[in-house]
Structure 1
């Protein structure tokens, strides 16, 4: 069993019933849990699909919590219910009675078929916020022609526009490495749910909160919209540089790569002086912000020849703190960087069957109500009895639900 410290944080008075799975929805509810919300993850008897996907350490003798699940389900509780049974449906409705929000990311219509749609649940709790995250949204807020289509991260990245401006050259769209087609919608869902809870507490009125993964990706790709409208452009991938700021991008080092954002005159002068090419600001091709943009491909080549002479460490010593600069770091370098230690951005959690593992920390820092990783992800159904008692179910009803879970499929 995990040692669960008392809930603290800015959201310690909020209770969330979490029906999400995979990455997008759980990432949003993780953010709420990190800041103290009481997040009760309701799982089917087989558990969230990510429970089964690992990965696990080789010496893990139990294999009950994989790294993926640990990372995005920390700070949550787990209740195991079969929502295809009357007992499971009744138990979920009981959990909803005093909840601030229920959050799900099933395909449209799934919970309606189980008798657990928004219109049913709001009759149980008028102040309930119902958060839904789907690939293309819900018809309640705008019926997409793709509303029945399934979607994952790569689909949202492709259709929302971010892949269309990411890649090594104009002809090669490239997926962004981390699952931003999942995590960004998850963040927006967390924000939407909090905004709706604020409204519900002020007015007594709950509501339906709808986030489409594709919409969220387009929203953070906002530049392509106004470039097309204002400039008549259809933006394409620009490699590792900016379409109109220069120098603003990635440059080679002797042992890897660095990034520089020195498009302003003052920064550009410092950069050239430190790299040993102090003549460049006086060059008529690069003498102003606009000229550097116009001649950016030539300037990128000249600066790359200079940066390639030095190691990342040497460039950090020369440029760090003087201009916007950062080395391209892998996770081994990140773990050795004192910044991330000072910011508590890599934390340890208990790992049943092995020694503690490291996961990403909480990026939103607060002075009075700091969020934190309080405990590991829950075992499947670890809090079922506790939470069903909290919801007012009788011991007989709880025993029946536990028996149903124990029955073979």
Structure 2
């Protein structure tokens, strides 16, 4: 497919073209963020028009900058490939938050911000003297977003609150690693940052809710989002079914219906999603087994699942004589949901992905052309978000301090000389 290229950057400018009114134009966001979860949320805020400022340490910044694979950057700092995934359209300001003057600068920025979001360990900001209680006094309208493994004590305390958490922790504790098909009883990591991305989406939802509520009340609030909580809602069908049966569904098998899952045609895999009796009837007629519709063993989804081995004999026999495209053409014409199981190369060739601008290309001076996923939220009268390169470490120190705090060049030079920024 033809990926959408980033608009050329004139001196790395990230402002939208004049006249473009995005949903969050004028909203100012500060972020102390690392890796994926919070950066994913703030990237979408930036796509929507918010001005997002990453507050980073002077000695490396966001840990994703140094996560392998890494190449030396044009600024002499590590340039990690992972950093491209979640940091387009942002600005970077370096600030020493352990320095009293650094704290003062940060509070001054907070006074001008609409949202502050962090995904540090719980209570780290409190120990710095910059927690919600302090910042809400600096700016009563501030929305403070906190993303963590298990939540913050001042909202709803968890016995696990101080434990560190990465993506695999969320997948494991929410029961998601027992859901994929597998050869033995060993749990399976899903192979991608599901928990990180999900908690970022949930965090983004909470921030937008708080923004909307502020328009009616004039008050800010703290939004507390736990990775464990966000991961658990992805396993919602297992929770509901287990509450009644006290049995866990077999790995990879949908809890309430069949056929549902991956099947092999002559030249590759496709998925079937036969949900509901009206679809089952159409499917059975299409593959030449209409007599099974009246068979008590297949009368509903739960019974079909219980007799799946026998049912699969018929399904596999029909698919074995057809290519994947041929099978899908027949099934789609009959209204039976199906789809190819794409490998990553096929995603790059998918016409839907191209038509919906779901792969963007960043032209980086070090890595060259880097593909990243696009934004799935499409709106009328709002052009697609541009895909500007992630910021260099501290690239916008001067610009932000001038624009937000009206500092002079001598003020900025002094802060730099004193290693505050």
Unaligned runs of 5+ in 2: 1-10
1:54–1:69: 8 Å Cα contact kept in structure 2? no
TM-score by length of 2: 0.88
2:330 aligned with 1:318, yes or no?
Answer: yes
**RMSD (CA atoms):** 2.6
2:151–2:157: 8 Å Cα contact kept in structure 1? yes
2:149–2:170: 8 Å Cα contact kept in structure 1? yes
For 1:318 and 1:159, locate their aligned partners in 2 and report how far apart those are by CA, in whole Å. 41
Deviation digits for residues 256-289 of structure 1 (CA, Å, limit 9, x no counterpart) = 3110112334433443444455554355533554
Hey, what does 2:248 align to over in structure 1?
235
For 1:111 and 1:384, locate their aligned partners in 2 and report how far apart those are by CA, in whole Å. 21
Hey, what does 2:366 align to over in structure 1?
353
TM-score by length of 1: 0.91
Equivalent positions of 1:106-117 (< 5 A) are 106-117=120-131
2:152 aligned with 1:142, yes or no?
Answer: no
For 2:68 and 2:21, locate their aligned partners in 1 and report how far apart those are by CA, in whole Å. 29
* Among candidates 173, 183, 195, match of residue 209 of structure 2: 195
1:60–1:354: 8 Å Cα contact kept in structure 2? no
Could you tell me how far 1:37 is from its partner in structure 2?
Answer: 1.3
Aligned residues: 405
* Among candidates 25, 33, 40, match of residue 27 of structure 1: 40
Unaligned runs of 5+ in 1: none
Moved more, 303-312 or 175-184: 303-312
2:331 aligned with 1:306, yes or no?
Answer: no
Equivalent positions of 1:1-400 (< 5 A) are 1-6=11-16, 8-45=21-58, 46-55=60-69, 65-168=79-182, 171-229=185-243, 231-239=244-252, 241-277=253-289, 279-281=291-293, 283-289=295-301, 291-321=303-333, 322-392=335-405, 393-400=407-414
Could you tell me how far 1:34 is from its partner in structure 2?
Answer: 1.4
Could you tell me how far 1:96 is from its partner in structure 2?
Answer: 0.7
For 1:288 and 1:161, locate their aligned partners in 2 and report how far apart those are by CA, in whole Å. 27
Deviation digits for residues 10-55 of structure 1 (CA, Å, limit 9, x no counterpart) = 1112111011111111111112111111111111111111111243
TM-aligned CA distance change 1:260 to 1:69, over 3 Å: same
TM-aligned CA distance change 1:282 to 1:226, over 3 Å: closer
1:30–1:72: 8 Å Cα contact kept in structure 2? yes
What is the DSSP-based 3-state SS (H/G/I as helix, E as strand, rest coil) of the residue aligned with 1:40? strand
1:26–1:72: 8 Å Cα contact kept in structure 2? yes
2:360–2:387: 8 Å Cα contact kept in structure 1? no
